[in-house]
Chain A
């Protein structure tokens, strides 16, 4: 392990390194990592310099730094607007594979993932396993030195271009559901994997469904022990949660300023007392959410835990639905219309539908309330009638 420098020493080092090496990347098409050579070259430099995963061991591109020190690197990169640092905090596949993967798997994919030459997608949800993720039925069967996978996955983003998938699959149907799962890295470029775009209620398509027929996975690409997939998945999900944004995306046409007051004024509705009531409510919800987040952040900085973090997603879902309702109320009959020739109505209708992205995606509001009730308030779980019986006997839709 290299020595541990003082933070200001490290900052000076990173600053100097960036000054010497960093130039703004040329425009390259997003989406296909194989068509972005300048970006890949840059990420390679960051990796070689030890800034990509500073908390990792030196044997794996790291410097063995503690988190606080590594954050100094992230800070300098952010200040310069340079990508690639601190992937030990952000990369789900790299972290999961480093922690649980075989030596072969680590050698095969970690460097490519950290330099952006390989990307991954998640094979988690299934049509029959959404909220109840441990109920997945995609099955992996060992066949000599490899595994053969069959099943169907859904809500997979970036599947069309990904090089690998992180898969949770059933390897044993004769034990209770959590115990029969295993975690794999699946090479995507093979005939057994068919990716089809999934069209959302907004008409957009950000996700795919994936049909897996006799796909082959090398034996060394099992991550963690056979039957230990649920535990590996929890670790991977924890990384995912720590990096998840608020899930709210911008409107389609960007005609809608954030300014609800302006919208009401434009439509001559600002004097309507009923509208004012709803306007105050929505503005308050937004402001309270910001205040809650600020309070949670302050608590975290003081090292005290706060229950607020787990409330954020629920709060945001409420806000997005309420805000879409208010915009609809303001625009009224205009929302009968759609299409590019009616950009404002189109945006409002889009926001109305897209609010479900947050209230369903990443765990429905109902599951979120279970989590808050059980993990924050300490309320008992529902009896789980499928918990201690072989998965083969569990009732299904």
Chain B
């Protein structure tokens, strides 16, 4: 479903207002030191606002929105450094279930995810962290049990719906594992970015159910949305830390004048503005291309009576894949560059734990690795251009 630009702006502003009150820097610091790593009260509010289930079909309790709305919302969540399982549960897992089917599993799992009562995660990669088929270190046995391990599982400790990509005789399959299944253990990882929690999963002949016949095509479709969401967060995060830095340049006085009057710093700021605007353009363009591709696929599916699963397996057309990949690496790099320079431009105060600049850098660095990383996005971008 697509809504008007005005409605999209209203949604974005509602999210911004909520986060301005409920996700201040103090809140982020409180939550990042908590056991869960996210604020359950705020999570409920985000669910009530329709954010958590925004991508989920209205028939399953969601808002049925698309990539354009996702991008707009994530610019705000990224700016606020919102620590939450939204991308993990509401984007990656929800869209994987929607792409993988089957309907009975969708009916069983999606309403809880949409309402925020369930938190889902997807274990997609092993130690190598490629978020590609070659990185999967879990194998499904002939008896349907899973054995192996997964790393970098986003908000894995909090999850009660657990999806796992595993090798099968016919390629990668998507499985569901009960949180209390025998042979399944999860361990919280020590993380560099305390606003995005990660877990290591281990499976030892763990009973599992395969979701339909979905393969890596469905996973890739879900990853595309997760990358898009990350790109939006990165564009928003980069803009916020630049704003904070520019404000500091105007108010910090040394040598009798605001340090922003020094060209050494002013020129960094100008270059960073170009980074921020380019990241915003890239994220919004990716969302537009993705939305157009989804729209075309839906029309095609309706005409052909094909299932969502088939559409997902077909993958994004080249232009949309290229646009998502472009956003994937350029937004990550823009955010990291902006956050790195922000610390330098703040000088001593930027090197302190109490200043938020390092929180932005931590978030930039986690986003630059998750769901594929810049190297993979760069390659996919080149391939989309025929290189």
Contact = CB atoms under 8 A, between A and B. Distances in A.
Interface of A: 261, 264-265, 270, 276-277, 279-280, 283-284, 287-289, 291-292, 294-295, 307-308, 311, 314-315, 318, 366, 368-370, 372-374, 376-383
Interface string B253-270: 000011011110011011
Contact of A369 (B257, B260, B267, B278): B267
B203 to A, nearest CB: 34
Contacts of A366: 263, 267
Interface residues of B, number: 33
Given A291-B285, A315-B274, A383 B378 contact: no
Contacts of B387: 261, 264-265, 270, 276, 279
B228 to A, nearest CB: 15
B281 interface: yes
21 contacts: A264-B387, A276-B378, A277-B378, A280-B378, A280-B379, A280-B381, A288-B278, A288-B326, A288-B330, A291-B282, A311-B274, A366-B267, A372-B270, A373-B263, A377-B266, A377-B270, A379-B258, A380-B260, A381-B261, A382-B262, A382-B263
Contact of B282 (A264, A288, A311, A383): A288
Scoring A279, A287, A370 by chain B CB atoms within 10 A of each residue's CB, the highest score goes to A287
Nearest to A302: B5
B281 A292 contact: yes
A30 to B, nearest CB: 36
Interface in B126-171: none
A149 B260 CA distance: 40
B329 A284 contact: yes
B41 interface: no
Contacts of A287: 326
9 closest A-B pairs (Cβ-Cβ)?
A373-B266, A379-B260, A369-B270, A372-B270, A291-B281, A288-B278, A369-B267, A380-B261, A280-B378
B134 to A, nearest CB: 17
B260 A280 contact: no
B281 A370 contact: no
Given A314-B274, A315-B274, A377 B269 contact: yes
B385 interface: yes
Given A280-B378, A288-B281, A379-B249, A370 B386 contact: no
A292 B277 contact: yes
Contacts of B261: 379-383
Nearest to A372: B270
Nearest to B377: A280
Interface of B: 246, 249-250, 257-258, 260-263, 266-267, 269-271, 273-274, 277-278, 280-282, 284-285, 326, 329-330, 378-379, 381-382, 385-387
A366 B284 CA distance: 29
B263 A295 contact: no
B213 to A, nearest CB: 35
A295 B284 contact: yes
Interface of A, secondary structure class, is helix
B380 to A, nearest CB: 10
A261 B260 CA distance: 41
Given A373-B260, A382-B262, A283 B385 contact: yes
Contacts of B257: 380, 383
Contact of A379 (B250, B385, B386): B250
A123 to B, nearest CB: 29
Contacts of A261: 382, 385-387
Given A276-B387, A279-B382, A380 B278 contact: no
Contacts of A283: 381-382, 385
B379 A276 contact: yes
Given A292-B277, A314-B271, A377-B273, 18 more contacts: A261-B385, A264-B387, A279-B382, A288-B282, A291-B285, A295-B281, A307-B277, A369-B266, A369-B271, A372-B273, A373-B267, A373-B269, A377-B269, A378-B246, A379-B258, A379-B261, A380-B250, A380-B258
A238 B319 CA distance: 38
A280 B329 contact: yes
Residue with the highest number of chain A CB atoms closer than 10 Å, among B246, B250, B387:
B387
Contacts of A369: 263, 266-267, 270-271
Contact of A307 (B273, B381, B382, B386): B273
